[in-house]
Amino acid sequence: MEEISNIGIIEYRNIIKAISDNYGIDFSHKSFTAFVRSIERAMVLNNIRSTDSLISTLTTNKNFIHRFISDISIEETEMFRDPNLWIELRDNIIPQYIRKGSNIWVPEVTSGDELITLTIVLRELGVLEHVKITATCFGRNQVDIIKEAAFPLKKMEVNIANFNRYSANSKFSEYYEEKNNRAYFDRELLRGVNIKQFEFITDEPPQNNHLVLYRNKMIYYNKRMQNSIMSKITDSMAMGSIFICGVKENLESSNNEKSFVLINENESIYKKTN
Amino acid sequence: MSYKAIIIGGSAGSFQVITKILANLPSGFDIPIFLCLHRLKHVRTGFEEALSIKSTLPIIEPYDKQHIRPGKIYLAPANYHMYMELGNTFSLSTEPPVNHSRPSIDLSFFSAAYTYKNKLVGIILSGANKDGALGLKQVKLAGGVAIVQSPDECQVKTMPTAAMAATSVDYVYTTDQIISFLKRM
């Protein structure tokens, strides 16, 4: 593992300014430590050895930004992370709150682990074809990555263990094929999913959502941006709809807290009531 | 020297050491303590409760962006990395494991060293891998105090030994000596 970087606060601000000046993309609202690590990771992947060199590459090579955005994105950890949440979705939330024609929004998809998990749960309940799912992602390259639905085999051990905690009655292996060291998931799972690029600051979110699944993404933003994102999400949701964030994320002290009631504290499941 | 934070990393064989330390801290101890301990990632509950049984101070698994308060013990949650940020808040992360670990001791120590600099005490306890060695080195480089549990006393000495190889630690202490050190702070 590389040792701690030399990216101090001044270099950090210079990098953010270079991206903003050249591409109009604002990263000033990122959570500091994780974003520094993301920048360092992108530098290692692209063999860039100093922040000056990174800024110069960002400024002179206009195609590099797409690669950079892809390299700084943080993959979702695993499928069926927190199996109890997916059990709760299967047994209670979806039967109670999702109807034919319901809209589901999964914002900021990166590697697609959570999206695939959701589609498997919906298929097992027989409702996948009857709902409209929109999955949005930040980078241009990510749309294709998500559509490919291919995951490194080394991630499958934990995925299988999680799935077995989720379900004793079905086989996870029915959903994918192993090929070239990757697990290719059934493309039919994503057939009806609208996968598109989306940016919280500038774009209009899909509207009238009945379920928004947004787990472990807010952690990468500062509190101010979290509030601004939650305002957009709240406005996009139908009355009585469901919002789910990560088990260690919550809406406490959020500007939008009053719009929700917490209906499952262990799994961070909220219902929009206001 | 007044310290602003204490960070403790441990793995195999550290649980009893931690519980003994937590049981012996004075109830008015007001420096926040961060615990980054290797744990089963799919078992979310039980660890905090087990550590709480004998602890004189409240133990909290922080939420993302929760404020850091004096007089509290903070435990890195299962399957998240835990960072201490400038401005006295936590942030959590689901980045890939480091040293096969999430939470990673190195990453927590790095962020604490960056935030608290020479006002930090870092302690590495018993454990079976090298996680924490570079983190403790960073604590030392930032001007903080580096302590390891005496390898002779450890159930598994790999972790403190690796830390001692990575940096010149300030103190090699038994559990009782660690407790005395903390009480004098």
Q: Rounded CA gap, A206 and A105, in Å?
A: 7
ipTM higher than 0.90? yes
Instruction: Report whether pLDDT(B152) > 70.
Output: yes
CA distance B111 to chain A (A): 7
CB B104 within 8 A of CB B11: no
Instruction: Report whether pLDDT(A159) > 80.
Output: yes
pLDDT band at B67 (very low <50, low <70, confident <90, very high): very high
Residues 107-166 of A with CB under 8 A from B: 161-162, 165
Residue A136's beta-bridge partner residues? Answer: A196
Q: What is the mean pLDDT of residues B91-95?
A: 97
Q: What is the pLDDT of residues B13-35, one digit of tens each?
A: 999 999 999 999 999 999 999 99
pLDDT (0 to 100) of residue A169: 87
Q: What is the CATH number of the domain that holds B15?
A: 3.40.50.180
List strands edge to edge, sheet with A132-137: A194-197, A132-137, A103-106, A209-213, A237-244, A269-272, A260-264
Instruction: Report whether pLDDT(B173) > 50.
Output: yes
Q: Is the peptide bond before A205 cis (omega within 30 degrees of 0)?
A: no
pLDDT band at A8 (very low <50, low <70, confident <90, very high): confident
Of the partner residues A32, A81, A82, the one whose CB lies closest to the CB of residue B86: A32
Q: What is the mean pLDDT of residues A69-81?
A: 95
What is residue A91's DSSP assignment? Answer: I
CA distance A99 to chain B (A): 31
pLDDT band at A5 (very low <50, low <70, confident <90, very high): low
Does B11 participate in catalysis according to the annotation? yes
By the CB < 8 Å criterion, does B113 face chain A?
yes
Does B81 participate in catalysis according to the annotation? no
Burial of residue A232 (CB within 10 Å: 0-12, 13-18, 19+) is middle
CB A66 within 8 A of CB A256: no
| C-alpha pair distances (Å), A176 with each of A149, A171, A188 | 9, 10, 11
Of the partner residues B91, B98, B99, the one whose CB lies closest to the CB of residue A34: B91
Q: Give how many domains chain B has, as a whole number.
A: 1
Task: Show the domain range for B62.
Answer: 5-184
Question: Where do the domains of chain A lie?
Answer: 9-72, 83-147+191-272
Give the residue with greater pLDDT, B134 vs A255. B134
Residues near B50 by Cβ (< 8 Å), separated by ≥ 6?
Answer: B15, B19
Q: What is the mean pLDDT of residues B68-97?
A: 97
CATH code, A83-147+191-272:
3.40.50.150
Give kind and range of the element (H or E) at residue A152. Answer: strand A150-152
pLDDT (0 to 100) of residue B1: 66
Q: What is the pLDDT of residues A165-174, one digit of tens each?
A: 999 888 999 9
pLDDT band at A2 (very low <50, low <70, confident <90, very high): very low
pTM of the predicted protein model? 0.95
